[in-house]
Amino acid sequence: MLFPREVLPSLLHLTPEWLRARGLKGVILDLDNTLLPYGDEELPEAYRAWLLALREAVPVYLLSNALPERFARVQKALGLPGHAPALKPWLGFRRALKALGLPAEEVAVVGDQVFTDVLGGNLVGAYTVLVPPLREREFFYTRFIRMLETPFRRPRGVGDERLDHRR
Ligand SMILES: [Mg+2]
C-alpha cells in the first residue's frame, strides 16, 4: 500500500504518451512540492507548456491538503478543477475520481509524498506515481516523515533482490 506503481525523476516525464501507454485517462495531481515548490503560488516556467499539453490530452484534477484560501488562489490562476483541504490519504480521492468520471484504474495519482499521495491513491486502486519533492520543507516534522518514507520511494519489487542476497 505504501509503494508507488512508478517513480518518475520529474513531473515532466508524465506526458500524454506516457499515460496512453499505460491506459490512463485522467490525472489526480498533488499541488505542494509536486506542481508548485512549497510555499509558491505561481507555476514554474518549466511546467507551463507541460501542463498545457497534459490538460489538453486528459482531465486533470488538483487534490491538495493545502489551506482553502491559498488553494483557491492557485486553482483560480491555473483554472483546473480540484478541492482542498482533502485530508489525504483518507479523504478526497473518491470525490476526485467522481469529478473525473473515470474508474480508479484509469487514473494516475501523482504526488511527492508516500503517506498522503501514494497511500491514498493505492487505497482507492489508482495508478500511483511518486515524484521527488520540488523543495524541501524546513520543518522537523516533514524531515522526519521523509526519513520514514525512504524505504518506499521506489516501485514495489525494485531493489528487493538486495534483501534476498542476505538470505
Ligand atoms: Mg505534496
pTM of the entire predicted model: 0.88
Convert the pLDDT of each residue in 74-113 to its tens digit: 999 999 999 999 999 999 999 999 999 999 999 999 999 9
**Average pLDDT over the chain, rounded to whole?**
92
* Closest alpha carbon to 40 in 9, 13, 73: 73
Three-class SS of residue 162? Answer: helix
Are the C-beta atoms of residues 104 and 124 closer than 8 Å to each other? yes
**CA 130 to ligand 1 center in whole angstroms:** 10
**CA 40 to ligand 1 center in whole angstroms:** 12
Q: Strand pairing partners for 109? A: 28, 128
Query: What is the span of the domain harbouring residue 91?
Result: 6-165
**CA 167 to ligand 1 center in whole angstroms:** 37
Three-class SS of residue 7? Answer: strand
**CA 32 to ligand 1 center in whole angstroms:** 4
Residue 130 in domain: yes
User: Alpha carbon 28 to chain centroid distance?
Assistant: 7
**CA 30 to ligand 1 center in whole angstroms:** 6
The enclosing domain of 116 has a CATH number of: 3.40.50.1000
- In single-letter form, the type of residue at position 122 comes to N
Are the C-beta atoms of residues 114 and 149 closer than 8 Å to each other? yes
Residue 136 in domain: yes
**CA 112 to ligand 1 center in whole angstroms:** 5
Residue 112 in domain: yes
Residue 154 in domain: yes
Measured CA to CA, the distance from residue 53 to residue 76 in angstroms comes to: 19
Instruction: Please tell me the total count of domains within the chain.
Output: 1
